[in-house]
Structures are given as C-alpha cells and as structure tokens.
Amino acid sequence: MNEFKVLTRDSGNAVIVELHGFLDAHTAPELEKTFTDLLSRGKYKIVVNFNSLNYISSAGLGVFMAYIDEVRNNHGDIKLASMQQKVFNVFDLLGFPFLYEIYKSQDEALNKFNSI
C-alpha cells in the first residue's frame, strides 16, 4: 500500500504544506481537504514542500489547479518547492513552470512571501 501524508505548519506569514509519499487519484482528496481547510481559515500564502513526495499523477496536479485562482484572488499564492526530479518532470510536461513558481528549496519560496 502506498501511503500519503500531509502536514501543515505556520511559518511567518505563510503556511508550509509538507507532502509525503504517493499522490494519486486515491490520495488527492486528502490534499483537497487540506487546501479547503486552509482557505476557510484565510490562509492564502502557501508553500508546498515536495521533498518527501515520491510520486504524483494528474489527479494530484489537479488539486493545485483547483485552488490557485481563489488563492491569487486573495493576494496569496501557492509556491512549490523542493521537488524530486521525477516529480518535477511531471509538472514540467504539463507546462506548470509557466504558471506556478517552483523553487529549489522551501526557504527560497518562503523568502518570496516574507519579502512582500
């Protein structure tokens, strides 16, 4: 069984969403729940740390697409960070780097929020 886990924690004026394991059509609803919860609490500055994410399919990518508009309309952003190469390749194939900010490290992504 491929596990998936989401952890969230505050960092300055942003929230870090840390992903672990395998994000597919089975586990994507759990991440949706996390985003719905964050947005309902008015958290719009979000850094997603992919360091421990081993796998993503289009169902997982769909989650980031579903919330980005609402987040940006509220002067926030979803910044993506620390992707393993094989996970980045999937984002890249679908053209995400043109629409999302993707950083090498979590700190780099956080600094972008903190410098605003």
Partner 1 sequence: MKRPEKIEDSKLFKSTTDSLAEVREFVNERAAAFGFGDREVSEITLAIDEACTNVIKHAYKGNPDTEFEVRVLASGTEFQVVVRDWGTGFNPEEVPVPDLKDKIKKHKAGGLGIFLMRKLMDTVEYQGRDASNEVRLIRYLRNEQKS
Min separation Cβ 51 and partner 1, Å:
17
Min separation Cβ 103 and partner 1, Å:
19
Q: Which of 20, 39, 96, 108 is the binder for partner 1 (CB under 8 A)? A: 96
63 neighbors 31 (Cβ within 8 angstroms):
yes
CA distance from start to end of the chain: 42
Residue 59 or 108: the one with the smaller Cβ distance to partner 1 is 59
Residue 78 forms beta bridges with which residues?
46
Query: For 41, phi and psi rounded to 5 degrees?
Result: -95, 10
Residues 16-75 that bind partner 1 (CB under 8 A): 22, 24-26, 55, 57-59, 61-62, 65-66, 68-69
Q: Cβ-count burial of 112 within 10 angstroms (0-12 exposed, 13-18 middle, 19+ buried)?
A: middle
Which pair of structure tokens corresponds to residue 3? 């596990």
Residue 90 or 108: the one with the smaller Cβ distance to partner 1 is 90
Interacting span for partner 1 (CB under 8 A) from 35-43, 73-81, 88-96, 101-109: 88-96
Taking residue 6's Cβ as centre, other Cβ atoms within 10 Å add up to: 18
Residues in touch with partner 1 (CB under 8 A): 1-2, 22, 24-26, 55, 57-59, 61-62, 65-66, 68-69, 86, 89-90, 93-96, 98-99
